[in-house]
Chain A
Amino acid sequence: AQKVTQAQTEISVVEKEDVTLDCVYETRDTTYYLFWYKQPPSGELVFLIRRNSFDEQNEISGRYSWNFQKSTSSFNFTITASQVVDSAVYFCALSEGSSGGSNYKLTFGKGTLLTVNP
């Protein structure tokens, strides 16, 4: 069975600090997809990134970067120079692949509440 663990329940930083959100996953499949979603105080879920299991390249998008390491089953998310608007709950999620196609079931971690203080 697939599982996603976000060990950090809450993180509080001061604006302009860098912060890393941890995500560890478990799966028996060799093909799978990893995701990060952001849930701001308004409540909607905003897609941030998708990564498939065959692509271990790290990705950078503006102040956001993601570090995917299959050896440690981790997909960590770093925000550089954090801003107050980054305050939200961040969810890591996993979708297992299957032969002949993709399994669309997303398993979410419990989320990490990030508070960025001015």
Chain B
Amino acid sequence: DAGVIQSPRHEVTEMGQEVTLRCKPISGHDYLFWYRQTMMRGLELLIYFNNNVPIDDSGMPEDRFSAKMPNASFSTLKIQPSEPRDSAVYFCASSPPPSGRANEQFFGPGTRLTVL
């Protein structure tokens, strides 16, 4: 069974450009999470969805960041306009419905974003 898929794996862009990160969760998982990892702040939850609906976006740093989940198998995280301080590794994770394995989050390989 395929794990969480993220694309691109690496992204280098210039300040001011729009960046779109993509995620495909594990089939059957109805929770999807976006995290950001930096040396300074560690792993931070940005936003998470349940059944395609955003549940908590309190971690989204500012209006330049937006996330969507148009269907159960696809989500995007967009940064517009990007800034050098957005440089980080962005992880997507998914989790199955409440069950004995509740809360177990499966992470994708991450997208390493560099904003010049």
A-side residues, CB < 8 A to B, are 33, 35, 37, 43-47, 50, 91, 95, 101-102, 104-111
Contacts and interface: CB of A to CB of B under 8 A. Distances in A.
Chain A interface main SS type: strand
Contact of B42 (A43, A47, A110): A110
Interface of B: 31, 33, 42-43, 45, 48, 50, 55-56, 89, 91, 93, 95, 98, 101-110, 112
Given A45-B91, A104-B95, A111-B43, 13 more contacts: A33-B102, A33-B103, A35-B104, A43-B89, A43-B109, A45-B93, A45-B107, A47-B106, A101-B98, A104-B50, A104-B55, A110-B42, A111-B42
A68 to B, nearest CB: 15
Most buried by B among A37, A95, A104, A107: A104
11 contacts: A35-B104, A44-B108, A46-B107, A47-B107, A102-B103, A104-B31, A104-B33, A104-B105, A106-B45, A107-B45, A111-B43
A43 B110 contact: yes
Contacts of B89: 43
Q: Which 5 A-B pairs have the closest CB atoms?
A: A45-B107, A108-B43, A33-B103, A110-B42, A102-B102
Contacts of B110: 43-45
Contacts of B102: 33, 102
Contact of A95 (B42, B103, B106, B108): B103
A44 B107 contact: yes
